[in-house]
Structure 1
C-alpha cells in the first residue's frame, strides 16, 4: 500500500488544544496496531508526521504495521528525532565540524549562516572534570578550578557556538551529567511546538552523542546513542537511516528482595540480554513487575542498554512516569498532556498487556542476587560471594580476558581456586607502603579506587541513600576507609547533594572520604585522576594487579586508570563497602569488613540498611530541590559568564592545542569523486574480539612518551597539563596520534606486546601505530584493519572512526560490528566489511604481513558481496566479504566521502 492516510486529529487538554497525528486513525487505514510494540508505534507516528511520498512513503507506514506478521522487517526508514543531546567530549568535535562546515560553505561561495542546527540541540558539559583532589572538604572547588583552567580554550569555543548557532543551548560545567539533566529536566515525554498557527503534539524522541542516551527510555522517551557525525546530520535535518528493528520483549515479574539494589537488577538484566543477543535490536520491558519498579530503577536499566548491546531499553508510559514528572518539577499542564496523549495514542501501559515481539525473555526480580561485574566487561556478572574466585581467575589468566564460559567453569568448581593463586587476602604478599603517616602492605586485589560515579546509579535516590546509610552505620561502628583507597563522590546532578544534605548523609560519606569531587562522569569516563604517588609506585614496582570498584557502567581495560587492571561495577553501597574492606579478595558475603571500636568483627549485614530505612530517606527527596537546581540551569557561575565570546559567524581559529581546524573538508568539491578500489593495502593492525572504541580512541590519560604526548610537549605543553584525550577531541592532531593508542590494546601482529604498536611491513620495524601510518602515507600505501567479533563495542566515539580515516585506513575487515561504530566508519568514508561465515583471520592463517586488495567499491550495494584478495608470500587467498553498508542512505554517505560531506552538499543544493 502506498497511499498516505490523513490522520490529523485534535486533543483538548485543559484549556489547550493540540493537533496530532492519530495512531488509531492510521490503524483504520493500515491495519490493527493494538499489539504493535510501543517503540514501533512511536516510529510509526514519526513516519506519519513526516510522510511526503519522498523521504517517507506510504509503504514505510505499511511496513511498520506488517512487522507484526513476523516480528521483523527488511524495510529501511528515515527517522527524524525531535532533538539532539550532546556531552562535551563528543560535543566539542561536533561543534568543530559545524564551524569547519561554515568555512567550507564560505569557500564554495555560499552563505555560511546556512549551516545551523535545524533541530533543538542541548550540550551538557559533564565529561571534563577530573578527580585530582579527593577525600577533603575543598575537593570540589579545587577540581572545578583545575577544570576551568585546563579547558578554558574549549569552553571559549563552546561559548562562541552557543551564540553563533541557532537552536543550540549549553549547560555549563559543574551542573550535572547530561543523562541525569535530560531525565530530570530536559525530557518532556511528549513534545509540542507551534507550527502554522497550531500547537502540534508528538512523542519526545532524541539521539545523543553519548551511548548512554538510552537512559531517557526509562521516562517513556525513545532515544539512543549515535556517533557525533550522525548526530550532526540529525541536527542538520537529515533523517537517521535505519532498518525497522527487531523488538525483544523483556517481562519483569515479582519484586526485589530485601538487601538487593537496582544495580544488582541491572547487572543481571545486562548479563541475560547480552547472552540472549540483542545487538542492533530494541528491547521493550513489560509485565506486572513494572508496578513495583520506581522510575529511577527503570532509568538505571535503560542506561545500560549499550552494555547489553541493544539500541535501546524502553519502558512505556504509566502512572509511575507521571509521578516522576511531578516530582522533578514538570508543569501540571505538561504532565496532563503526557497522560492524555499517551492514552489517546495507545502508548499507555495497560495491566496484563503483552505486545507482539520478535522474541522475548523474562526475569522474576525476586531471584536477583547481590552482584558486581568485571573485571573488564559490564556483562560479566559475578555474585558478591564469588568475587575472590573471580579475582583468582584473573591472576591465573594474567592479561587474558575471562570469558563468560571460563567464568562458568570457574564457578562450578565447588569453590576451588586456581592452582598457585592465593585466595586469601590475609595471606597475599605485596610491597610495604608509607602514606600519610600510615604503614601498610599493598596486596594483589587492593581496591585503589572506590568511586560513586556516573549517570547509571547517581540518578537513583534509593542506591545513593543506601550508600549514605551504609556509611553512617559503618561510621557509628568506627570503621574507616582503607588508606590506600582513592575515594570519590561525583553525582549526576546537584539535586543529589541537596537530598544527601537534607538527610545529613553527606557528613557520613565525607567521614569515609567520599567527599564531593565534581558533577560529572569522572572515573567512569577515565577521569579518575592520578593515584597518590606512593600508591602508584607500589603498584608499578610490585607489578601488582589491583582493583577499582565503581558505580558506573564501563569497566573496559585501560579505561578507569592505566595502572588498574581489574575494574568492577557495583552499586554505590557496595562501593563504600569495598572502600572499607580494601581488597576484592575479601568475600564480603562471609568475611568481616573490619572491626569495631571494641575489636569485634563487623560484617556487611551489620551495616547494610533495610528497605524501610532507605524508603524513609528517599521520602526526603522533594520537588523544591529540582526547582531550585534547574531554575538557572543554562547560566553557569561567574567564571563561566566571564569567558570571552568571539562575535563572528565563521570561527576565527586560534593557536590552540585544544581546538584545531580539522582537515576533513580540505579541497572539497561540489561533486564527489568516484570511489576507487583499494590496491595492495597493508595491514595497520590485526585485532581480536571485543575491541572497544576505548581501545581504538581512548578518552583517558595521555602518556608522555606516546605520539600524542610527544606532540603536546613539542608544542610547549607539560605532561602535568596534558589533560585527557577526551578533553582534546577538538584537536585532530592529538586524536589521530591517539588512535589505537590504548595502553591495553593488543595487536596480533606483535607477539606478546601490549599497547599501540605495530610492525611496519616490509621493513619489519616495530613502531607506534601512528608512526607506522605516517610512514605508509609517505610511501603512498593504503591501509586496512583486520579484526574479530564485536569490533567497535562500547561508547559512541566518533573519533574512533575519524582517527581511523586520518591514519589512512580505507577499510576494516571484521567478523562482526557493534552498531554505532559501524555507522561511524561509513560516516567518515571508511568501508566496513565482514568475513563470511566460517572464515576469519585465524582460519586464513593471517599474520599481518599480507597485502590486501578490494574490488568493486564503486559498484557497492547495501549488504552486497565485495571481493577481497589477500596476497601472501605463497600466493593469494580470496574472501567474499559482506559489505556492511546496510542501507541506501549509508551508501550515499560513503560515496560522498562521509555523511557531513553529503549533508553539506545537500544544504547548498549540490547533492
Structure 2
C-alpha cells in the first residue's frame, strides 16, 4: 500500500491490545473544519477513507474528498473518483482468461524491451477454482468421487496453467478445486472486515475492500466488506495498480423492520427484495440496509441478500458492521486479534451500526416489513420475476400457454410418463443459499420428514447437492441430515457452482430423448441466483429459483403444475396424501440443529485450504516468468489483443458499419457469451472437432475461456438468443445483408471483416445484464464490433465494453430500434469520435436505409468518466496500462 500525502491531517494512532496502528480518521475531517461525516452512509464512509489514504494530488485530490463530503447536501455528486481496493477475488472461469491476459502482457512487455516483472499483481489476488465441476454423476455415494475425477481429467491443462500463474506472479494465490464456491470461501475465510498492512515500520488499519471477477462478489457486503463485481479486464488493471474509476454513487437506503414469519426462508426474503429493488431501479447505485429488522437477521441471511445485488441491479447491497458481524467472525474461526481489531476500528471510525446512533442520510429510501414476506420462487427465466408459491402452478400454466401448449403433452418413458411442466432437474447449489445453514438444514429436515412418510423423489428428476464449502458437509453429517438427503438422491456431487453456472451435466438418455422427441417444456428448480434462458440446461426451458427446502419439495412433487400450498405433494406409505405443511420444518427445529455448526469445522476445513488434493499437488507445472504457449492447445491460446487491428487506438469515426445483430430487452451476458454446453453443430463445436476433439470432450464454454478461437465463435451463440434480423429463429444466427444469406453470427462477422466492414450491435433496455463476463466484451471486439447502441446498459458490461475498446452508446429517451423501425439492413455511421470525445458526449448516428432514405439521430456516449475515455482511446484498459508502463522505460 502506498501512503498518501495526508494534506488534511487525518492520520491518527489506534491502540488495540498491545499493538499500535495508524489509520485515517474520518472524524478528524470535522475537527479540521473540512466536513461532518456523521450522517454519511456507511458505504460512502469507506470510499471516503479510501480517498484519504490515497490522496496524492493527482489521482486523488482534495477536490475529490470535498466532493464526497458534499454528497450530503444533494444526496448525490456527479464527480468521478478513483477507488483502490485492498484485494481482488477471482473464480476460474474468469480467472483463466485474466491470467492469460497477464501472461500476454508480459510477453508484449518483453517485446518492447521492458521488464516482464512489471506485469505483476501489486495487491493480493485470490483465485478460487469453483466453476468447473459438472454434475455428470448423481444420486449415489460415488457421485462426488466420479465428478472430481472427470473434472481433473477435463481441466488438467487449465489447472496446470493456473499453477504456473501461482508460481510466476507474486501476490497471487490459488484455492484448488474441490474446496468451495469463491464467495463462500471469501465469506468464511478470506475476508477480514478490517485489513492491515505494514508500510515502513508502521502498521496501518483500513476497511477490507475488494473487487471480484464474478458479479456475486457482493455477497461479502453482508460481512461489512465493501466490494462488487467488475469485468476481468478491469480487475486486471486494478491488480496492476490502476484505480477503479467510478462516479460517486447515489445510495438507496433500504429499511428492514419486523421479523420473518414462521416457515419463511432467507431465500423468500431475497427474492422479495430483488423484485422490489429491480422495480425501483437501482442500476449503478449502492443499496445500504438499515433498520431494527437487522437485529433479527443472522449474518448468513444478510449475505444471502447481498449476494443477489446483481439481480436487483445495484453495484452493491451493503450491511454495516455490528455485533452480528463479530459473532460470525468468531463462529467462522477468525482470530481473537482480528475480531478485536474489527470492533475497535469500526467503533472508532464510525463504521459501527448501533440502534441509538445518528441515522445516515440516503438518496432515496425504501422499507420492507419482514413479516409481510411470503413463500415464493422466481422464474421462469429472470431472477427478479418473483412468483408467490401459491401462484407458481398458475404461472407455469400461463408459461405453457404462451409457448403454445394450452394442454400439457405427455411422453411415455420407461415405466413412467413425462409431461410439460415436469421438473427434470432439482439442484441444491449456488453461493446464494449454500452459505446459509438455516436453509441447508431446512432442506435436510424436509428430506428426513419425507422419508419418514415413505416418500421418494420422482424417477424423472435429476437431483444434486453441491455445497459452497466443505463446512456444509461437516454440519449436515454431524446433524445426521446428509443421510436423509442421500436416501432421496441429493448426494454430494461436488463443491462448486454446478447447475447455477450451467454445469448441470447431461440428463439421463431416456429423459433427454423424450424431451427432444416431443419438444417438451420441462423445468428445473434450483437454489441458485441465475435462471436466464439457455443457462441451466439447453433442453430445460423453464427455470425456477427456490430455497433449498423447496428444491427438495419439488423433487418429491416432480412437477410445477401443482399448487404446493394446497395440493398433495405425494402419498405416504399408507397411501394417504402428504402436503407441504406435513414435511416443512419449524424454525425451532432448525434452530435446534444449528448447534451442529461449529467453529472447529471452519478451523478443520480451512487450515490447509491452499494445499489441494493429491491429484492437484501432483500436477506438473511449466516454469519461468514467460509462459510457453502451445499452438496445439484447445484450452490455452495466445490471444491477439496486442496484435494487428486490435492494437490500434480507437480514435476514428465509424463509417459504413453494418448491423451484426438487432436485439431486444434484457439481453444477458449469458446470451452474448454462454458458459454452458457447446453444441457440435455450432461454430465453436465445429472448430473443436476440426482440432480432433470429440463432442463428449468439449467440456463447456466457461472452461474454454483461455482459448479465444472457441470464445469468439461462441459469442452471441446462446441457443435462446433472438436476433430480430432473422425473425422466428432462436440461436446465434444473423443475416449477411450484402448476400442476403442467413448464417451463424461468427461466420457473418468473419465475412464482414474480410471485406473491411465495421459492425455495430443494436439492442433494447438492460443490455448486458447478468454475470460480469469479460468474454461478452472480448468476443464482441474480436468479431469486429465497434459500437453497441442500446436503450440502457447494465453497469459491469458497459464497463467491460469500454475496457475492450468498444463504444457503448445510448438512445435518447423515447427512441429505440422499434420507434426507428430498424430492420438491421441499414448502414450506420457514427461521427464525433475523431473530433475528440468527452465523457457522456452526444454523438450523431447517421442511419441509411436500403430505400436510400437517411435519418440522423443523437445518442449519448456511455463513456462516463475521463479514465474510461483514456481506456477507450487506447483501445482498452490493458493497452492503456501497457502504454503507461512502456512510456516509463
Shorter-normalised TM range: over 0.9
For the residue of structure 1 that corresponds to 2:568, the secondary structure is: coil
Name the residue aligned to 2:847. 870
Contact 2:259–2:369 (8 Å) recurs in 1: yes
2-side partners of 1:230 and 1:612: how far apart? 46
For the residue of structure 2 that corresponds to 1:61, the secondary structure is: helix
Q: Does 1:70 align with 2:96?
A: no
Name the residue aligned to 2:132. 128
For the residue of structure 2 that corresponds to 1:263, the secondary structure is: helix
Name the residue aligned to 1:214. 218
Contact 2:378–2:387 (8 Å) recurs in 1: yes
Name the residue aligned to 2:643. 666
Name the residue aligned to 2:838. 861
Name the residue aligned to 1:892. 870
Q: Does 1:829 align with 2:805?
A: yes
1:359 equivalent among 361, 364, 381: 364
1-side partners of 2:857 and 2:243: how far apart? 33
Contact 2:219–2:306 (8 Å) recurs in 1: yes
1:492 equivalent among 468, 475, 482: 468
Q: C-alpha deviations, 1:279-301, integer Å up to 9, x for none?
A: 00000000010001000000000
Deviation of 1:553 after TM superposition, in Å, equals: 0.1
The 5 A counterparts of 1:155-194 are 155-194=159-198
Name the residue aligned to 2:886. 908
Deviation of 1:27 after TM superposition, in Å, equals: 2.7
Deviation of 1:907 after TM superposition, in Å, equals: 2.1
The 5 A counterparts of 1:433-448 are 433-434=413-414, 439-448=415-424
Q: Does 1:693 align with 2:669?
A: yes
The 5 A counterparts of 1:313-332 are 313-332=317-336
Name the residue aligned to 1:682. 658
For the residue of structure 2 that corresponds to 1:23, the secondary structure is: coil
2-side partners of 1:647 and 1:757: how far apart? 42
2:394 equivalent among 367, 384, 389: 389
Name the residue aligned to 1:881. 859
1-side partners of 2:822 and 2:644: how far apart? 37
For the residue of structure 2 that corresponds to 1:74, the secondary structure is: coil
Deviation of 1:674 after TM superposition, in Å, equals: 6.1
Q: C-alpha deviations, 1:300-357, integer Å up to 9, x for none?
A: 0000000000000000000000000000000001000000000001000010542100
1:101 equivalent among 105, 108, 111: 105
Name the residue aligned to 1:477. 453
Deviation of 1:811 after TM superposition, in Å, equals: 0.4
Contact 1:287–1:354 (8 Å) recurs in 2: no
Q: Does 1:111 align with 2:87?
A: no
Name the residue aligned to 2:58. 54
Deviation of 1:856 after TM superposition, in Å, equals: 1.5
Q: C-alpha deviations, 1:3-31, integer Å up to 9, x for none?
A: 93010001111011111000000232321
Q: Does 1:26 align with 2:46?
A: no
Deviation of 1:899 after TM superposition, in Å, equals: 0.3
Q: C-alpha deviations, 1:97-123, integer Å up to 9, x for none?
A: 000000000111111111100010000
Name the residue aligned to 2:96. 92
1:16 equivalent among 16, 19, 23: 19
Q: C-alpha deviations, 1:480-529, integer Å up to 9, x for none?
A: 10000000000000000000000010000000000000000000000000
Q: C-alpha deviations, 1:411-470, integer Å up to 9, x for none?
A: xxxxxxxxx834xxxxx4400001xxxx11101111000000000000000000000011
2-side partners of 1:840 and 1:663: how far apart? 34
For the residue of structure 2 that corresponds to 1:313, the secondary structure is: strand
Q: Does 1:81 align with 2:81?
A: no
Q: Does 1:149 align with 2:127?
A: no
Q: Does 1:724 align with 2:700?
A: yes
Q: Does 1:757 align with 2:761?
A: no
Q: C-alpha deviations, 1:697-755, integer Å up to 9, x for none?
A: 00000000000000000000000000000000000000000000000000000111100
Name the residue aligned to 1:710. 686
TM-score normalized by the length of structure 2: 0.98
Q: Give ranges in structure 1 of 5+ residues lacking alignment.
A: 400-419, 423-427
2-side partners of 1:187 and 1:709: how far apart? 40
Name the residue aligned to 1:789. 765
1:398 equivalent among 391, 394, 403: 403
Name the residue aligned to 1:768. 744
Contact 1:36–1:68 (8 Å) recurs in 2: yes
TM-score normalized by the length of structure 1: 0.96
2-side partners of 1:81 and 1:334: how far apart? 19
Name the residue aligned to 1:402. none
Name the residue aligned to 2:411. 431
2-side partners of 1:633 and 1:299: how far apart? 22
1:647 equivalent among 623, 636, 640: 623
Deviation of 1:254 after TM superposition, in Å, equals: 0.4
Name the residue aligned to 1:408. none
1-side partners of 2:534 and 2:7: how far apart? 52
For the residue of structure 1 that corresponds to 2:70, the secondary structure is: helix
1-side partners of 2:490 and 2:75: how far apart? 48
Deviation of 1:668 after TM superposition, in Å, equals: 9.1
For the residue of structure 1 that corresponds to 2:829, the secondary structure is: strand
Deviation of 1:761 after TM superposition, in Å, equals: 1.0
Q: Does 1:231 align with 2:208?
A: no
Q: Does 1:503 align with 2:479?
A: yes
2-side partners of 1:370 and 1:604: how far apart? 12
Contact 1:691–1:791 (8 Å) recurs in 2: yes
2-side partners of 1:533 and 1:757: how far apart? 28
